[in-house]
Structure 1
Amino acid sequence: MLDFKDLAPAITRQRMVVEGYPTFVITDEHIKDYLSRLSVVTDMVTLIEPVTHVSELYGWAGWVHWETSGAHFYSWERPLSFFSVDIYTCKPFDPQAVLDFTREYFRTTELVAKEF
């Protein structure tokens, strides 16, 4: 694997992946609501309302476009109830606030996260 060199240190970039097991089936409306509220939690300016799409093979996906980048959401019902959120911003946000909000929103049985 190649070493990662920061090619643009003058540009703020913050990334975070959050994954977990929800205690309910995630729907289109949950995804839109979660991404809208995530925008508030991270203090991001929303450019378009969250959009979603469902694949019969892979489940739900959603995206919100922020002035300072955006977030993607993925949800599966099978082979297990699981979600993954990818956040990429050019403006700093509080990772602990994202974790607390996500844990509470989905009433998770387990939640993990990684920043990079």
Structure 2
Amino acid sequence: MSQIIPSPRRRAFGCGVAATVVALVGILPTAIVFVLAGTADPNYGWLLFLTLPLAVLVGGIALILGIIGLVFARADRGGYAWPVAGTVLGAVSALPTAAFLMGG
């Protein structure tokens, strides 16, 4: 009688990919506004008042998802690449807000 090989757990991979996608949803609008304000017209800068709170909210969610993915990766002895990427991008999404609030 042959034994059935258990399928590998993919919880860490799923949380990591979700964290990365969610973080990119928060970072991309802010980056687009910075590019538009710097090249096309400086009057696009007011859109930062809409995109920065979105980046902070979504970045926090991505950071939490990334940390959950790291915990799952540790428990499953799996890959850490996607959870680390999601955690780093979630933390990076707070950098434009910190620069904006500090006047830099």
TM-score range, shorter chain: under 0.3
Q: Going by fraction, where is helix more abundant, 1 or 2?
A: 2
Q: Going by fraction, where is strand more abundant, 1 or 2?
A: 1
Computing the radius of gyration from Cα coordinates, the structure with the larger value is 2
TM-score by length of 1: 0.22
TM-score by length of 2: 0.23
